[in-house]
Amino acid sequence: MKRTMVRLADGRDLIYYDERDDAVREGPDRRDLPPPPPASELRYDPLLDEWVAIATHRQTRIFLPPTDQCPLCPSTPDQSSEIPAYDYDVAVFENRFPSLSVRTGEPGDDPTPYTPTRPALGRCEVVCFTADHHASFATLPPSRVRTVLDALADRTGELSELPGVEQVFCFENRGVEIGVTLHHPHGQIYAYPFVTPRTRAMTAAARRHAERTGGRNLFADVLAAERAAGDRVVAANAHWTAYVPAAARWPFEVHVAPHRQVPDLPALDDAERAAFGPLYLDLLRRFDRLFDKPMPYISAWHQAPVRVDRDLGYLHLQLFSVRRAVDKLKYLAGSESAMGVFINDIRPEQAAAMLRQLADRP
Residue among 57, 134, 183, 186 flagged as catalytic: 186
Q: Cα 252 to the chain's mean position, in Å?
A: 17
Using an 8 Å Cβ cutoff, are 235 and 277 in contact?
Answer: no
At a CB cut-off of 8 Å and minimum separation 6, what does 271 contact? 238, 239
- From 96, 72, 95, 94, select the one nearest 84 (Cα to Cα): 72
CA atoms in the 13 A half-sphere facing the CB of 37: 19
Sheet of 297-302: strand order equals 2-7, 13-18, 90-94, 123-128, 186-192, 167-174, 297-302, 316-321, 252-258, 240-243, 233-236
Distance CA 205, CA 312 (A): 9
Residue 61 pLDDT: 84
What are the extents of the domains in the chain?
1-35+62-95+122-197+230-310+317-362
Buried b (16+ CB within 10 A) or exposed e, 88-124: bbbbbbbbbbbbbbbbeeeeeeeeeeeeebbbbbbbb
124 marked among binding-site residues: no
Residue 104 pLDDT: 77
Buried b (16+ CB within 10 A) or exposed e, 189-205: bbbbbbbbeebbebbee
CATH number of 1-35+62-95+122-197+230-310+317-362: 3.30.428.10
CA angle (107 as vertex; 188, 36 as ends), nearest 5: 45
Distance CA 210, CA 142 (A): 36
Taking 50 as the pLDDT cut, the residues of the chain under it are none
Residue 26 pLDDT: 80
Residue 337 pLDDT: 95
133 marked among binding-site residues: yes
DSSP code per residue over 179-198: T-S--SSEEEEEEESS--HH
Distance CA 145, CA 22 (A): 20
Distance CA 106, CA 120 (A): 11
* End-to-end alpha carbon distance in the chain: 30
Q: Which residues pair with 316 in a beta bridge?
A: 302
CA angle (149 as vertex; 154, 351 as ends), nearest 5: 140
At a CB cut-off of 8 Å and minimum separation 6, what does 260 contact? 239, 272
State the burial class of residue 17 (Cβ atoms within 10 Å of its Cβ: 0-12, 13-18, 19+): buried
Number of Cβ within 10 Å of residue 185's Cβ equals 23
Residue 108 pLDDT: 78
pLDDT tens digits, 230-248: 999 999 999 999 999 999 9
183 classed as catalytic: no
Q: Based on C-alpha coordinates, what's the Rg of the chain? A: 21
111 sits in which H/E element: none
Distance CA 68, CA 241 (A): 40
Q: What is the DSSP letter of 273?
A: H
Q: Name the pTM for this structure.
A: 0.96
Residue 361 pLDDT: 65
